[in-house]
Chain A
Amino acid sequence: MIEARDKKVPYLFLFPAFVGLLLFKLYPIFSAIIQSLHTRIFLGEELKFVGLNNYINLFEDPVFWNSLKVTLKFNLVINPLQIVLALLLALLLNANIKHIAIFRGINFVPVAVSVPTACILWKIMLSPEQGVVNSILVALGMNPQPFLTSSSQALGSIIAIASWKGVGYWALFLLAGLQEIPPTLYEASSIDGASRWQQFRVITYPMMKRSLTFVVVSDTVANMLLFAPMYILTSGGPNKSTNVLMLESYNSAFLYSDMGRASAILVIMVLITFIIISIESKLLKPEY
Chain B
Amino acid sequence: MTTKIMDRRIKMITCMILILTLLTSCGKGGNNKVQESESDSSTTEVLFIAYSNYEEPLKNVVDQFKKSNPEINVKLELAPFNQLMETIEIKMGAKTEDVDLLFVDSPLVVNYAVKGYLEPLDDYFSFDPKDVWADEAVNGATYQDNLVAAPLNSSSQVLYLNKDIFKEKGVPLPAEDERMTWEETIEIAKKLTYDTNNDGHNDVFGFSFDQVDRAYQLLALSDSLGVEMVSEDGLTTDGYINSPEAVKAFQFYYDLFNTWGVSPKIDREESIDYFISGKIAMFLGANHNLPKLEESDLNYGVTLHPYFEGHEVATPTGAWNVGISKYSKNKEAAAKFLEYLTADLEGAKTFFEVGGTLPVHLELLDYIANDPQYDDFPNNIIRISAKESQETAVSRPKTPGYLEWETNMNRAFENIKNGTDPKEALDNAAEEIDRLLKKYEGVTE
Contact = CB atoms under 8 A, between A and B. Distances in A.
Query: Do A and B touch directly, given a CB cutoff of 8 Å in the complex?
Result: yes
Of A129, A139, A239, chain B has the most CB atoms within 10 Å of the CB of: A129
A236 B265 contact: no
Given A238-B415, A256-B436, A259-B93, A42 B114 contact: yes
B265 A42 contact: no
B415 A128 contact: no
A24 B428 CA distance: 40
Contacts of B114: 42-43
Given A42-B400, A254-B85, A150 B410 contact: no
B122 interface: no
A237 interface: yes
The B interface is mostly helix, strand or loop, or mixed, namely helix
Given A42-B114, A235-B410, A254-B86, A124 B443 contact: no
B407 A251 contact: yes
Nearest to A40: B115
Contacts of B21: none
Contact of B414 (A124, A238, A253, A256): A238
* Size band of the interface chain A makes with B: 20 to 34
Contacts, number: 80
Given A43-B443, A150-B418, A259-B93, A128 B265 contact: yes
A139 B197 CA distance: 11
Interface string A144-169: 10100110000000000000000000
Contacts of A235: 407, 410-411, 414
A255 B84 CA distance: 12
A128 B266 CA distance: 8
A253 B90 CA distance: 9
Contact of A124 (B270, B404, B411): B270
Interface of A: 39-40, 42-45, 61, 63, 123-124, 127-130, 138-139, 144, 146, 149-150, 235-239, 251, 253-259
B427 interface: no
Interface in B123-142: none
A10 to B, nearest CB: 21
Interface residues of B, number: 39
A266 B337 CA distance: 41
Contact of A63 (B93, B432, B442): B432
Contacts of B432: 63
Contacts of A239: 415, 420, 425, 428
Contact of A138 (B199, B266, B404, B420): B199
A42 B438 CA distance: 12
B433 to A, nearest CB: 10
B89 interface: yes
B279 A130 contact: yes
Q: Sorted from nearest, which 3 A-B pairs have the closest CB atoms?
A: A129-B264, A149-B418, A255-B403
A127 B270 contact: yes
